Amino acid sequence: MSQIDVHGLAKHYRVHRKAAGFMGSVRSFFQRQYQNVKAVDDIGFQIEEGEVVGFLGPNGAGKTTTLKVLSGLLHPTAGRARILGFTPHERQSSFLKQITLVMGQKNQLNWDLPAMESFIVNQAIYDIPVDAFRQTLAELTELLDLDPLVDKQVRKLSLGERMKCELAAALLHRPRVLFLDEPTIGLDVVMQTRIRQFVAEYNRRYGATVILTSHYMADVTALCKRVLVIDHGKLIYDGDLRAMIARLAPYKVLKLILRSPVTCEALSPYGQVVDCNGLRAVIRVPRETATRAAAQLLGAVDVDDVTIEEPPVEAIVSELFDRGQVDDAPTQREGAGNAP
């Protein structure tokens, strides 16, 4: 059986609605109006040990709700989830000792004490043997460069420094399954890259399974071979990230820098001209003919520099959400995962 096995999972909320203003309050006091919100609506997938899977979707798509169901914080309304053979919402301690959930916007560290104090508490409550604790802490300290941070009060750390300590606290018990909900939110680019490299290294070193949500596409493209795309609570794509890009964006982008000016019309036979101002041009060309087009252009016009790029993933994904589906893509798993 897969390490994570989800079937027909649904989570519906009953949300209390109230009209604005005083009369709205009065009316709602006597007669509450409820609305059923389908945060997660019949989704299913399997994830194997050691995979790194990206969870994509716009705000309110149901990503965090799904992670909360998988980590055991929420009871599903319907369907079932099995993780490491456990039913998450039973919250058995042998289950909790093998998973972790890092929420970029919530802390588990004690704000008023140095992070080290929280680490020591975790050692005790997760029953981590002293030797294993020392070794893991040494490795995390090296990977995350924690040395100068752990003895400072958490509230005096910067956001990025705090996130590093949060990650360390969440990983001291060496969980086999990591749920990362926006782990890089609010961090600068350098720190985002550090966290990303760390997650990749942790996955490589310990073979841990990682499910990650992020608003930063770069997190997903750097870490995940496979993505699950969720929108309005429904799974609209499950499969290889590159395959999705290839299907949604069957073109590459040629960027040209020219030595002498050329008209847009002169470039149009090679592909769809997106931008052209004489000395610079951006052309979309079909994937299969991208290299040939580039070679022809080198011969035909006075080119100083040419690059062939993948289209930006942000654009593809937002296009996907607008359309609400991937054409002729089954929502089943396709493309192999990146299990070692």
Partner 1 sequence: MLHKYWVLLKVNWSLLLEYRAGMIIWVLANTLPLVMLAVWISIADAGPVGNYGAAEFTAYYLALLLVRQMTSVWVAWELDYDIRLGELSPKLLRPIDPIHNHLALHLADKIFRLFTVVPLILLAAAVVPGVAYPTDPVTVALFLVSTACALAIRFMMQYSVGLLSFWITQSLAINEMLYAGMVMFGGVIAPLELFPPGAARLAAVLPFRYMLSLPVELLLGRLAGPERLAALGIQILWLGVFIAIYRLLWRIGLKHYSAVGA
* Contact (Cβ atoms closer than 8 angstroms) between residue 225 and residue 38: no
Name the minimum Å distance from CB 111 to partner 1.
10
Q: Which residues within the stretch 18-77 sit at the binding site for partner 1 (CB under 8 A)?
A: 65, 68, 71-75
Rounded Cα gap, residues 137 and 116, in angstroms: 10
Whichever of 125 and 274 has its CB closer to partner 1, that residue is 125
Rounded Cα gap, residues 79 and 81, in angstroms: 7
Name the minimum Å distance from CB 193 to partner 1.
26
CA distances from 64 to 78, 104, 113, 165, 176 (A): 17, 11, 28, 22, 20
Whichever of 57 and 76 has its CB closer to partner 1, that residue is 76
Name the minimum Å distance from CB 4 to partner 1.
16
Rounded Cα gap, residues 262 and 239, in angstroms: 41
Write the interaction track for partner 1 spanning residues 85-114; mark x where CB under 8 A is met and - where it is not.
----x-x-xx-xx-xxx-x--xxx-x-xx-
Name the minimum Å distance from CB 92 to partner 1.
9
Name the minimum Å distance from CB 279 to partner 1.
54
Amino acid at 340: P
Whichever of 128 and 267 has its CB closer to partner 1, that residue is 128
DSSP state of 105: T
Whichever of 96 and 167 has its CB closer to partner 1, that residue is 96
Three-class SS state of 29: helix
Rounded Cα gap, residues 286 and 115, in angstroms: 52
Identify the CA nearest to 276 among candidates 296, 301, 313, 299.
301
Question: Where is 162: in which H helix or E strand?
Answer: helix 159-171
Name the minimum Å distance from CB 93 to partner 1.
4
Write the interaction track for partner 1 spanning residues 110-129; mark x where CB under 8 A is met and - where it is not.
x-xx---xx-xxxxxxxx--
Whichever of 82 and 97 has its CB closer to partner 1, that residue is 97
* Residue 196: count of CB within 10 angstroms of its CB: 21
β-strand partners of 102 = 180
Number of residues that bind partner 1 (CB under 8 A): 35
Whichever of 110 and 338 has its CB closer to partner 1, that residue is 110
Whichever of 75 and 323 has its CB closer to partner 1, that residue is 75
Q: Which residues within the stretch 142-181 sit at the binding site for partner 1 (CB under 8 A)?
A: none
Name the minimum Å distance from CB 106 to partner 1.
6
DSSP state of 86: B
* Contact (Cβ atoms closer than 8 angstroms) between residue 163 and residue 182: no
Rounded Cα gap, residues 284 and 294, in angstroms: 11
Rounded Cα gap, residues 331 and 340, in angstroms: 24
* Contact (Cβ atoms closer than 8 angstroms) between residue 194 and residue 187: no
Name the minimum Å distance from CB 221 to partner 1.
28
Whichever of 120 and 218 has its CB closer to partner 1, that residue is 120
Residues of the shown chain interacting with partner 1 in the complex, contacts defined by CB under 8 A: 13-14, 65, 68, 71-75, 89, 91, 93-94, 96-97, 99-101, 103, 106-108, 110, 112-113, 117-118, 120-127
